[in-house]
Every structure is written in C-alpha cells, then in structure tokens.
Structure 1
C-alpha cells in the first residue's frame, strides 16, 4: 500500500509535501452533508481556475442551495475588483459556497453576506487555531505575524442569477519565502495551534451555517441577528484614521467610526461631517498613522 489515496500517477503526488496532505472529500461529506443541514453537496477538486466561477455557473444552471466547492489549488483565483489570488497547492483553504437566501431575505440585504462570512471565519480561526483574527472592511481577514499586521485571507461574493456565491481564500501553511507580497501572512506564520485543513474547514462551514441560519431567520436584519455588533467588534478598521481611495483618483480622509445598517463604512472627516461609503464604490481602504 502506497497510501496515495486517489492518486492516479499523473503529475506530482499530493503527498510530496507531508505538511500539506490532500483533503479527504468523502470524510468531509460524511461530516457536513447531513439531513436537515445547510450543506447539500461538497466537492474537492485538485485544481481549477476559480471556485467562484465554477460554482456561479452551477448556480445559474439551478443547483440547490448548500453546494460547497473546494479546490486544492486555484490557477485564476479572484478577489474583489478582479484582483488575483494565488498560493501553492494545498497551502490554504480555497472554497466557495452556493446560497439562495430568498425569499426570506430581501436582495437589499445580500450585501451583508461577505461580512457574515468574515465573522464566521474570524470566529472559527480564533477559536480553533487560537490565532486572534481581525476583519479589515470590507473583505479581508487579518492576523499579526512577526510583529506586524498581515493579510490572512480574502472574501468575494457575487450574484449568479437568483443565487449568491461567496468564496474565500485563507492562507494556512504558507511559508515566508512563499508569500506573494510582504504584507501577506498565514496561520502557520502567526503561530496557530491548529493548521489541519480538514479540522478548520469543518469548523468553518459549521460556524457559517449557524450564523447564516440566524441571519436568514430574521430576514437578514443585521441587528436582530447580532451580525452588526459581531462584525463591529472584530473590525480593525473602525476607530482608525483611514485613507479611502475612490474611483477617479478621489480620496476620502478621516476616521472610520462605524459600520452602518447597510454594511457601509462610516468615515468622519476633519470638519466633523460623516460619510458612508459602500464597498462597491471603494478601491482601497488604507489605515493611516494617527497625528501626534
């Protein structure tokens, strides 16, 4: 017995790097695709262009809510504003889920879904990996590694007909020499107690299903579901001076003071005026040093 489960002999063995074993799709399905649960299917592919693109096509074709697609490697992973996301095979969690919140949730509240994913991911990683995880508005996961704040992962949500596909990429075992940019980080670099992707994925999908169910039950109301206070408590952007880059080379300078009921970031400018900016209208939000 070679122990190479599902290995066909074509291409490099997924067991070449013992720190990065492949996910066991059958075991994950037994644990997560259960009667009465949110998750209705779970597939793990060796590689793909983008799990979001693949699942969006399935959503438009009528796949039911609760489909999960996980890739061991993404060739064309996408972030917000079509930014590229790449990482070595099996070095992280790269997945998308298919949701159909209607008719319980009005479309106007779908904008809360990426923030809900962020809360679920930050909750899971803080609890299971024992790494304090923050949320940079609107869609980044942050942790501290090497004494600096680094990007741990990102979230992308998009419409697919009457469905919503939300995807995330989380760096798990990425090493310093593998970082795409110096500001990136990983659970391993942050000293995580757990980096087993199977354990993390199961916990993440269970935490998300619980939060999503509570949010959906109250029609997507961010306050009644507890989502707004939960997000605000983990949002590292709130309370900081920020420089918000807007389309057309415009900028908004001020202090991020809140996230409002529509999921927008509220910025107070030097003259005391407050302006709410929507994620769809923002190119970058960059924290700024406080004036002394």
Structure 2
C-alpha cells in the first residue's frame, strides 16, 4: 500500500475524527437517488456552509438550478428556522438538507409544501429509524423522550426564483448535553434503532418524492391525494388547547379543531368563534394549577 502524503492523512483524520459520526457517502447517495425518471437531479454534500437554504435560494436566483437539486451540509454555521431563529449542532450529528422544487400546481396551493415535507419526513423516520413521530403545526417534527414530546426537527420553506426551497433539519445523534435547548430532542434520545444518516437521508428524500408526486398529480388538491388526511392524522396539535402567537404582537388561545383546505390551523375560542390561523408560532398548552402554562 502506498503511504498517503501527510496532508491527505490529516484530511482523512478530520473527516473521521468522531468515529461514531462518519461522513455521508455522497457517491452512494447519488447512485441510489439520481436515477432516470426520478425527481432528484443533482446532489451535493458539503463539509460546512452557513445555510443550505440560503445557498440554494442564491443559486436559484442566479439560474443555476434545475428542479430536484439537493444540497446537504455536514455542518451549518448559520442555520435558520421559522421566524429567523438560529440554531446549531455538532458536525455530522444530524441531517441538514435543502431541495429545490418548481411545482406546476396553482400558486394558492404552494402553502401545503412545508406540511407535505412534514408528512414525508415523519413517515420516513417512523419506517427507517423506528421512532414514533408527530407533527406540530406547521413545521416541527416531534419525538417522545421520557414520555414528553420534544422537537427533533423542523422544516423551512422559502420562495426562490420560480420555485421553492424546502429545508429539513433533523437532530440524529445529539446527546442531551449537545441539545441547543433543553426542550429539544434527537433520534438517539428517542431510542431510534438506526442512526446511520445515509439510509435515513435516502428514506426522507424518497418519501418526499412520493408525496410531492402524489400532490402534483392531482393539481395540488390536498384532499384528493390524502395529504390533508395524513397531516391531520399525525398532527399532535389538533385536539389540544394552544396559544397562537400572531404577527403584530397578538395572541389567540383556543382548541385546535381542524386543518382547513388551505393548510390553516382552525382554532375554536371560548366565545364559540372559529379562527383560521395561517401564520404564527403555536404553543401547546399543558394543564397546570389554575389553568394552562
């Protein structure tokens, strides 16, 4: 065997410095996912970037993307969630992936895309990781740790040129000490039977391709492709008392009773009025002495 130059040995040592968190195999992922007739057209894995969503949005604006482009980062230094929240995770401890889609369905139905991604991601994790998952409206993926629902992932949709960039972030192997906040979780903490990120990523992308194809085939009708039904069945928000933190420093408390045809969460307030909520932060309220906390 020919000895490696010192610089190559150093590079490999960096990639494998944490043997419990090996790097993704970009070549194997491409062979498995980039096939004729499938949605995925390109797949890149980068060691680190600020935000995979920001990168794809910029590339879409420059006309450099085709539908089905996938960008995965082993680490993100400026990852963003809804409401421009920042979060971080150790290198190779999760899945940080963005995809570029150009739906042909009516623009009014594009709001279903983050919910579709939630259904696809939850289904993939249940099958491939063996964990029970739930969805918190509109874009959080929950798992159960010690009997408590916690956020293990999130989805961010952003308009980009003629399409949408969907970002999916999942905590895979984070330990309790590595969590960004104590109320977060990871697949490892939820007792997942599989923490190998390669098959997890393949499962998520294949599930996303399936649901996206079904949704496109019926012109984005969420009832006809059973997306509305699937989301409602897996949504931990429905049937609970919640507080919706709305734009303009307003809030609304009520029971989450339905998901309407536009993907909005319908809250029934004590005065008997039903309010559709299309944007805001949802807080699941728990019974506490004297009311909810």
Q: TM-score range by the shorter chain?
A: over 0.9
| Residue ranges of structure 1 left out of the alignment (5+ in a row) | none
Other-structure match for 1:194: 194
Q: Secondary structure at the match of 2:201?
A: helix
Residues 206-241 of structure 1 show CA distances to partners (whole Å, capped at 9, x for unaligned) of 111011001001111100011000000000000000
Q: Which of 243-252 and 174-183 deviates more?
A: 243-252
Matches within 5 A, 1:181-220: 181-220=181-220
Other-structure match for 1:260: 260
Distance (Å, rounded) in 1 between the aligned partners of 2:220 and 2:44: 28
Q: Secondary structure at the match of 1:131?
A: coil
Q: How far is the alpha carbon of 1:7 from its aligned partner?
A: 5.9
Other-structure match for 1:75: 77
Other-structure match for 1:288: 285
Other-structure match for 1:111: 111
Residues 75-132 of structure 1 show CA distances to partners (whole Å, capped at 9, x for unaligned) of 0011011111210000000000000112xx0111110000000000000111111101
Q: How far is the alpha carbon of 1:10 from its aligned partner?
A: 4.9
Matches within 5 A, 1:31-180: 31-62=32-63, 63-102=65-104, 105-180=105-180
Distance (Å, rounded) in 2 between the aligned partners of 1:68 and 1:7: 27
CA shift in 2, pair 1:87/1:12, >3 Å: farther
Task: Answer yes or no: is the 8 Å Cα contact 1:241–1:287 preserved in 2.
Answer: yes
Task: Answer yes or no: is the 8 Å Cα contact 1:7–1:13 preserved in 2.
Answer: no
Distance (Å, rounded) in 1 between the aligned partners of 2:103 and 2:13: 40
Residues 6-30 of structure 1 show CA distances to partners (whole Å, capped at 9, x for unaligned) of 9673596121111100001011000
Q: Secondary structure at the match of 1:13?
A: helix
* TM-score for the superposition, normalised by structure 2: 0.94
Distance (Å, rounded) in 2 between the aligned partners of 1:200 and 1:276: 34
Q: Secondary structure at the match of 2:119?
A: helix
Q: How far is the alpha carbon of 1:272 from its aligned partner?
A: 1.3
Task: Answer yes or no: is the 8 Å Cα contact 1:254–1:269 preserved in 2.
Answer: yes
Q: Secondary structure at the match of 2:92?
A: coil
Q: How far is the alpha carbon of 1:52 from its aligned partner?
A: 0.3
| Residue ranges of structure 2 left out of the alignment (5+ in a row) | none
Q: Secondary structure at the match of 1:48?
A: coil
Q: Secondary structure at the match of 1:174?
A: coil
Q: How far is the alpha carbon of 1:251 from its aligned partner?
A: 1.2
Q: How far is the alpha carbon of 1:151 from its aligned partner?
A: 0.5
Distance (Å, rounded) in 1 between the aligned partners of 2:284 and 2:208: 28
Count of paired positions? 285
Task: Answer yes or no: is the 8 Å Cα contact 1:7–1:14 preserved in 2.
Answer: no
Matches within 5 A, 1:239-254: 239-254=239-254
Task: Answer yes or no: is the 8 Å Cα contact 1:156–1:166 preserved in 2.
Answer: yes
Q: How far is the alpha carbon of 1:287 from its aligned partner?
A: 1.0
Task: Provide the alpha-carbon RMSD of the alignment.
Answer: 1.8
